Amino acid sequence: MTTTIVRAACPHDCPDTCALLVTVEDGVATQVRGDPEHPTTAGALCTKVSRYTERTYHPDRLLHPMKRIGKKGEGKFERISWDEALDTIAARLKEIAAREPQAILPYSYAGTMGLVQSESMAGRFFNKLGASFLDRTICATAGGVGYKYTLGARIGTDLEQFQNAKLILIWGGNPIASSVHFWMRAQEAKRRGAKLIAIDPYRSLTAEKCHQHIAVLPGTDAALALGMMHVLIAEDLLDHDYIARHTLGFDELKKRAAEWTPERTARTCGIAVEEVLGLAREYGQTAKRGEPVAIRMNYGLQRVHGGGMAVRNIACLPALVGAWRHAAGGVQLSTSDSFPKDNRALQRPELLAGRTPRTINMSTIGDDLLREASPEFGPKVEAVIVYDSNPVAVAPESPKVARGFAREDLFTVVLEHFQTDTADYADILLPATTQLEHTDVHSAYGHVYMLANNPAIAPLGEAKPNTEIFRLLAARMGFDDPCFRETDDEIAAQAFDRSNERAIHFDWESLKRKGWQKLNVSEAPFADGGFPTPSGKCEFYCERMLADGLDPLPTYIPPHESVASNPTLASRYPLAMISPPARNFLNSSFVNVRSLRDTEGEPHLDIHPDDAKTRGIEDGGMVHIFNDRGSFVAKARVTDKARPGLVVGLSIWWKKFAGDGKNANEVTSQRLTDMGNAPTFYDVLVQVENV
Ligand SMILES: Nc1nc2c(c(=O)[nH]1)N[C@H]1C(S)=C(S)[C@@H](COP(=O)(O)OP(=O)(O)OC[C@H]3O[C@@H](n4cnc5c(=O)[nH]c(N)nc54)[C@H](O)[C@@H]3O)O[C@H]1N2
Ligand SMILES: Nc1nc2c(c(=O)[nH]1)N[C@H]1C(S)=C(S)[C@@H](COP(=O)(O)OP(=O)(O)OC[C@H]3O[C@@H](n4cnc5c(=O)[nH]c(N)nc54)[C@H](O)[C@@H]3O)O[C@H]1N2
Ligand SMILES: [Mo]
């Protein structure tokens, strides 16, 4: 028997982007481990990816191209050859493109985060075609835009520093489920005497293990940050020297923060005045003692109307108290802009040849698939090519998404590992390779290492990498630019811009051998200011926001749907619903892996005992969750983990694994955030009753 160890990278949409070691015995991958030498992975994997071989060798893997023989959504397919599949797709796309290429829409997200298998060859293909652009907003753009207004770029505290912090605010994130390698550092900090405070409407697994949990109402974090500023300023818990040298607009901010008394803040957030005061004092006094205070924000807090503003406001806090002076202080939402990705080399925008196709927002795919041609919208969508995403399960207001994909006149191609809820609507379903079967190169959004993914095994069945599928389609379409013939290795070698000092060490061949390489970045990014904003400062007052039609100062934007902001709606639908990630799923990936699904059991709804009692709901009873957009059924868990007025349905279930064939996105809305045109998954009112 020959045994080899292959260096790989976790492809999933998670801040941790782990370095993997894959054991291969006689051509079969038998084990996936975390690389013990990679500092952030530290030899540990989450429950999901430690079972990656179960996913790759799953009996339900798609192994051949197929064409639909049943009704759309029914999921009945028949095996065809690659030639037939590619010829069918090319013929249809040629016919549409000859009339109107913008009637073709790519739909993709982060099924794989690999820079090669996500938007390289695919991006080139759609650029050459002149297809509609897709605005990839479904996760992080609200917070990303808010963060950038304040700090200039998505750069933050290095993950490898958090264990040295004396206070960590875990704000809108549940890292035990969604970023376990950050949580390992936070626990180390706790052992060294740090205090951990969770700010989350729900007592998540993480909130349960922190010293303190502040259960704000969903969508009110911007107000809490303003209240903290008020107290920091009133009690002079400030770093005046840092403010003077490295910030813009402190005097204006002072006036604004004065409006946010602890009483007003507490009322808005649905918490006690003491909680506002206590949080601000803990933060300000720890910093004043010269000790590092760190904030780990996560995207959970920005899936609401004012999500961009909330992130912006929180991003102002470290500069007020001088937390950036310490490598272990500051804030991290994302580190993605630390990476000098060469998107031009990957996607070749010159293939557009001067055209600027219209842009469709992936978060409003429900409405947009149902739209007729119009001067504002442009042509009706006639073809959708889905890869690295499962929109029928994950996109908001799912009843409309499903109706859109059910259109008889829509031509749908899905590249997938499995027959997902979206795959059920495909005209042509193509088998894609998993991370063990293809080459890739990775950046990360929670740490600062570039990683290589070497293929460990041969593709299963007739599966092909996304790149190869688009390469073959390009040839069928007659696209003869040389970039369509590049190999995956050639593409990977162009992923980072080596003229940028941060990626100066990047060399694909050596990265493949070593597996990972840290970017050339400083330990404390803003210790001496140098924010990548137009002013070079942390912008409390932001001219760009004014130009974009926003309040240039931190403010509070209430939820679209809440008891306080919409009492009329709340009289019918009085409960706020959030649907954050379940620990054993990764968005909708892994839901079909038996052992992981069995651990989650079935779709649940956590509801507070008071809210259950008034509705006669008992623990373990089946409940119906509904609003004007739709409804779904789940098993009630009566628990005070959900604060009164809040219900929580951990997600994202495949609809076909739920008893009623529906999931939480039946009731979520397509209304967008204040910034970044992102969805408002956690800005939803519902009513709940016994089935
Ligand atoms: N196991 C697992 N890991 C994942 C994922 C997964 O599905 N499963 N998804 C991955 C993806 S795509 C992402 S984007 C990341 C991050 O994904 P996030 O959406 O940040 O998810 P979580 O880290 O679970 O944290 C969300 C937390 O925010 C809370 N929350 C909801 N609304 C509010 C609010 O208004 N204010 C505040 N303060 N908190 C709120 C929720 O109760 C939850 O505990 O995780 C990634 N990691
Ligand atoms: N209600 C609710 N809805 C949500 C969220 C929520 O918290 N609540 N979270 C939102 C967030 S943060 C996100 S990021 C989105 C995530 O939404 P998506 O990015 O759509 O994520 P997944 O559901 O994991 O689907 C990814 C699919 O890509 C496939 N895939 C993986 N690798 C490859 C590959 O190499 N090739 C091909 N062709 N396919 C591949 C997987 O099999 C999987 O089916 O969902 C959003 N939806
Ligand atoms: Mo996400």
pLDDT digits (tens, 9 = 90+) for 322-367: 999 999 999 999 999 999 999 999 999 999 999 999 999 999 999 9
Distance CA 249, CA 247 (A): 7
Q: Is the CB of 463 under 6 A from ligand 2?
A: no
**pLDDT, tens digit, 9 for 90 and up, residues 168-189:** 999 999 999 999 999 999 999 9
Question: Percent of the chain at pLDDT above 70?
Answer: 100
Nearest ligand 1 atom to alpha carbon 139? 14
Which residue owns the Cα nearest ligand 2 atom 31? 111
In this structure, which ligand is nearest to the CA of 182?
A: 1
Ligand 1-lining residues (CB < 6 angstroms): 13-14, 139, 171-174, 177-178, 199-202, 204, 216, 218-219, 221, 298-301, 304, 578, 580-581, 583, 585-587, 682
Q: Is the CB of 140 under 6 A from ligand 2?
A: no
Residues near ligand 3 ion, CB 5 Å cutoff: 139
Buried b (16+ CB within 10 A) or exposed e, 598-636: eebeebbbbbbeebbeebebeeeeebbbbbebbbbbbbb
Rounded average pLDDT over 565-579: 98
Q: Does residue 21 have a pLDDT over 90?
A: yes
Q: Is the pLDDT of residue 160 over 90?
A: yes
Averaged pLDDT, 215-237: 98
Could you tell which of 137, 385, 417 is best to mutate to test the pocket of ligand 2, judged by most ligand atoms within 8 Å of the CB? Answer: 417
pLDDT at residue 438 greater than cutoff 90: yes
Q: Which atom of ligand 2 is nearest to the CA of 433?
A: 35
Model confidence over 545-557: pLDDT tens digits? 999 999 999 999 9
Contact of 120 with 411, CB cutoff 8 Å: no
Confidence label for 484 from pLDDT (cuts 50, 70 and 90): very high
User: Cα of 581 to ligand 2 centre, how many Å?
Assistant: 11
What ligand has the least distance to the C-alpha of 207? 1
CB 554 within 8 A of CB 265: no
Q: Using the atom order of ligand 2, give the atom closest to the CA of residue 663.
A: 1
Give bridge partners of residue 576 from the DSSP assignment. 646, 685
The ligand minimizing its distance to the Cα of 362 is: 2
Among protein residues, the one whose CA lies closest to atom 42 of ligand 2 = 417
**Architecture of the domain made up of 66-132+357-428+457-502:** 3-Layer(aba) Sandwich (3.40)
With left for phi above 0 and alpha for psi between -120 and 50, is residue 497 left, alpha or beta? beta
| Domain positions in the chain | 66-132+357-428+457-502, 142-336+524-547, 567-690
Atom 46 in ligand 2: residue holding the nearest Cα:
394
Ligand 3 centroid from CA 174, angstroms: 13
Distance 84 CA to ligand 1 centre (A): 42
Query: Taking a C-beta distance cutoff of 8 angstroms, is the pair 523, 326 a contact?
Result: no
CA–CA distance, 485 with 490 (Å, rounded to integer)? 10
Residue pLDDT, tens place only, 74-91? 999 999 999 999 999 999
**Ligand 2 in contact with 113 (CB < 6 A)?**
no
Query: Which residue, judged by its Cα, is nearest atom 40 of ligand 2?
Result: 388
CATH class entry, domain 142-336+524-547: alpha beta
pLDDT averaged over every residue in the chain: 98
Fold of the CATH domain 567-690: Barwin-like endoglucanases (2.40.40)
- Does the CB atom of residue 111 touch ligand 2 within 6 A? yes
Q: How far apart are CA 623 and CA 506, in angstroms?
A: 54
Q: Which amino acid is at 317?
A: L
| Ligand found nearest the CA of 588 | 2
Res. 416: pLDDT tops 90: yes
User: Can 66-132+357-428+457-502 and 567-690 be said to share one CATH topology?
Assistant: no
Distance 446 CA to ligand 2 centre (A): 18
What residues are paired with 432 via a beta bridge? 464
Atom of ligand 2 nearest to the CA of 664: 1
Q: What is the pLDDT of residues 614-647, one digit of tens each?
A: 999 999 999 999 999 999 999 999 999 999 999 9
Nearest of 414, 686, 459 to residue 577 by alpha carbon = 686
3-state secondary structure of 26: coil
**Closest ligand, as measured to the CA of 432:** 2
| Single pTM value for the model | 0.98
6 CB under 6 A from ligand 2? no
CA of 108 from ligand 2 middle (Å) equals 9
Task: Please name which ligand lies nearest the alpha carbon of 581.
Answer: 1
Of the residues 179, 302, 390, 419, which should be mutated to test ligand 2's pocket, given the most ligand atoms within 8 Å of the CB?
Answer: 390
The answer, yes or no, to whether residue 1 has pLDDT greater than 90, is: no
- Mean pLDDT of the 286-304 span: 98
**CB distance 231 to 274 below 8 Å:** no
Atom number of ligand 2 nearest to Cα 393 = 23
> Distance, CA 665 to ligand 3 centroid (Å)?
15
